[in-house]
Structure 1
């Protein structure tokens, strides 16, 4: 039991609560619990025996309402209460002081809890920022690595393009050389050479403006070999 209720004090306070209004035992318990902000909650084993004793002394009476004993202060109980008004006032002041102390402790606990929660949230935010920075650094590193790999791929494609361009030139030379024989072939050779040079230059300009991948190279190679075959057949 709360130290506020010294010897006989709880008995006096029960009379006060019943003087305010008739109440059953559970209601008395709830009122005391609310008054002390939930910190002090008397058990039924504390309240009901005292109510029974007050009734034995003729200070309270009871009637059964909806299956519950509802206690009411008697004239004798009211007389005792009036005789102890000074003691009751002192008890009320002690209870108010006690409640203020409890409220202050609760407020301090809440403040400490909020402070602790704020620190935890701050640490969590710091961890998240650090994690985000790490992820951003990793993303930048991955991006740089992908860019290096892409540059290497472009270099490889450019080298392959040069190699295949050389092969194509050799093919065009063979086609050119085998396509003309006899008199008057010199003028035809010059004209065909100019056509082929213009064609190669046009293709090279188109290729320079785009990224040539393996699939594109393979398709272009097939088209060029097919064109070479058709030109060769035409010149025979």
Structure 2
């Protein structure tokens, strides 16, 4: 029970509430909750026995309305209130002071809660920004790593292409030597050399304008080996 209700004071305040208007027990409980801003909430086990005691003393009466006991102050109850007006005034002042203190505490609690919430939101926003910066930094590192890996792969493909080109040149030389062994025709020899040079230059130019992959290299190699075979057969 709230400390403002010392011995006999809750009894006096119940008479005061019933003087204002006839009420049932639940309504009395709700009025006390509202008066003390929900901080003080008397239980039915506190209110109903006291109302019954007031009725036993002849200070209140009751009638049943819609299945509920509605208590009304009696003339004897009004007389007791009149005899205790000074005490009732002191009680009203104490209740007002108590409610004012409660309101101040609630206001301070709300302010502290809002402050704490603001600090938590600020920290949360800071963490989000830091997380975003970390993710952005990680994304840049991943991109640089991908660029480096791609550059390394391009260099490997270039070296592989150069190696394959050397092998193809050796193949063309062998084809040339085999196909014209004993020919002794410098004009035909020169013409074939020009054809092979133009072919190699054209293939190299086309390859330099496209991204060479393992698959395209393998396909080109197969095509060149097939062309070399067909040329050998043609020159026999």
3-state SS, counterpart of residue 4 of structure 1: coil
Instruction: Give the distance between the partners of 1:89 and 1:200, measured in 2 at CA.
Output: 115
Aligned position for 2:224: 224
Aligned position for 1:44: 44
Aligned position for 2:114: 114
Matched ranges for 1:1-236 at <5 A: 1-180=1-180, 185-236=185-236
Please identify, of 213-222 and 170-179, the stretch whose mean Cα deviation from structure 2 is larger. 170-179
Name stretches of at least 5 consecutive residues in structure 2 with no aligned partner: none
Shift of 1:36: 0.8
Name stretches of at least 5 consecutive residues in structure 1 with no aligned partner: none
Superposition TM-score, scaled by structure 1 size: 0.88
3-state SS, counterpart of residue 38 of structure 1: coil
3-state SS, counterpart of residue 38 of structure 2: coil
3-state SS, counterpart of residue 32 of structure 2: helix
- String of CA shifts for 1:129-187, please: whole Å, max 9, x gaps: 33333333333223222222222221111111111100111111222233335667322
- String of CA shifts for 1:43-78, please: whole Å, max 9, x gaps: 223212221221122221012234432211223323
Instruction: Give the distance between the partners of 1:234 and 1:79, measured in 2 at CA.
Output: 138
Instruction: Give the distance between the partners of 2:60 and 2:205, measured in 1 at CA.
Output: 111
Instruction: Give the distance between the partners of 1:173 and 1:179, measured in 2 at CA.
Output: 10
Please identify, of 211-220 and 139-148, the stretch whose mean Cα deviation from structure 2 is larger. 139-148
Change (3 A) 1:82 1:175: same
Instruction: Give the distance between the partners of 1:209 and 1:92, measured in 2 at CA.
Output: 97
Please identify, of 117-126 and 34-43, the stretch whose mean Cα deviation from structure 2 is larger. 117-126
3-state SS, counterpart of residue 118 of structure 1: helix
Shift of 1:207: 1.5
Superposition TM-score, scaled by structure 2 size: 0.88
Please identify, of 149-158 and 88-97, the stretch whose mean Cα deviation from structure 2 is larger. 88-97
Please identify, of 104-113 and 176-185, the stretch whose mean Cα deviation from structure 2 is larger. 176-185
Alignment: residue pair count: 236
Shift of 1:86: 4.6
